[in-house]
Amino acid sequence: MASGFFAILDDIAALMDDVALASKVATKQTAGILGDDLAVNAEKATGFLASREVPVLLAIMKGSFINKLIIVPIAFVLQALYPPAITVILILGGLYLAYEGMEKIVEFLFHRDKKAVEVIAEQDQKDSPNEQAKIKSAVATDFILSIEIVIIALGSVLHQTLSVQVLTVSVVAIIATLGVYGIVALIVRMDDLGYKLIKRSNEKGLLNFTGEILVKALPIVIKALGIVGTIALLLVSGGIFDHNIALIHQSLPQIPGMLKQLLLGIIAGLLMVLFLGIGKKLLPKKKL
């Protein structure tokens, strides 16, 4: 009886060792997409009133966990039954990300002033339509990024047993969510930390200097994240097309990989913006 119990413990320990090693490999392979995920989600979690930043971030993180709870089992089922379906889903997701990225650029170039007024007006109160729309958009974008994270993690452990695969993908999904949104939380609250340091230092010395840097740096960081997040959307989408469509992957080998992926994202995004724009004009308008 005792020997059987210790044998089970040995099996569990061996399984955990395998999962730890596989998780390390899978995390390394998903590092690039996690960096893009961080940039995209940090950009989407900013731009709110200070009192709403943490609630909004928690709402997005909750949506991210739900996304992964949905994606992980579906990924295993599709991998077992019909692996090509995963590629189709990734490509559709890539089109969505390309549209998100190019829509931001179009909005900035042609509708910047109007949108700024709307945001200021709508963010004066809790649970405003603009806030809810941004949360839904962030969760939808996270869904596509989560698909790619899960697929990359699963692809790195296909040679392992099913139990190791399930545990490894689950560990990577949890690390991805907590790690990304933990860093995002630090970014969006850096001005609060700065004000606390200034208050604690009585506006003197190194603490005061550090606090002032944090406060002054936040607007710059947020603006930079907006630019980096938009580029990340286009890069991720272009990467999906490059890695999953053989004809595209084999074409233009003389162009550096990252530049090629950015161009693919821009082209796909422009086509999606034009296609959806024409579609909206053709659809009958609702009567008030």
What is the full per-residue pLDDT of the chain (288 aa) written as tens digits? 545 544 554 555 665 666 677 777 666 656 666 666 777 777 666 666 667 777 888 888 899 899 999 999 998 998 889 888 888 888 988 898 899 889 889 888 886 654 444 444 444 456 677 778 888 888 888 888 888 888 888 877 877 888 888 888 888 888 888 888 888 888 878 888 888 888 888 878 888 889 899 888 888 887 787 788 788 888 888 988 998 898 898 888 888 988 999 999 999 999 999 998 888 878 766 554
Q: How many helices (H) and strands (E) are present in the chain, helices listed first?
A: 11, 0
The full DSSP string for 5-73 is HHHHHHHHHHHHHHHHHHHHHHHHHTHHHHHHHHHHHHHHT-SS-HHHHHHHHHHHHHHHHHHHHHHHH
Measured CA to CA, the distance from residue 210 to residue 188 in angstroms comes to 16
- Which tokens sit at 249? 């992957």
Q: What's at 229, amino acid-wise? A: G
> For residue 127, is it left (φ>0), alpha (ψ between -120 and 50) or beta?
left
- Which tokens sit at 40? 């995209």
Select from 43, 87, 98, 96 the least CA-distant residue to 269.
98
Select from 148, 144, 105, 39 the least CA-distant residue to 267.
105
Measured CA to CA, the distance from residue 221 to residue 227 in angstroms comes to 10
Residue 55 in contact with residue 131, Cβ under 8 Å?
Answer: no
Distances (CA, A) of 225 to 164, 268, 278: 36, 22, 30
Q: Which residues in 187-208 are b (16+ Cβ under 10 Å) and which e?
A: bbbbbeebeebbeebeeeeebb
pTM: 0.72
Q: Is the dihedral of CA 232, 109, 92, 74 positive or negative?
A: positive
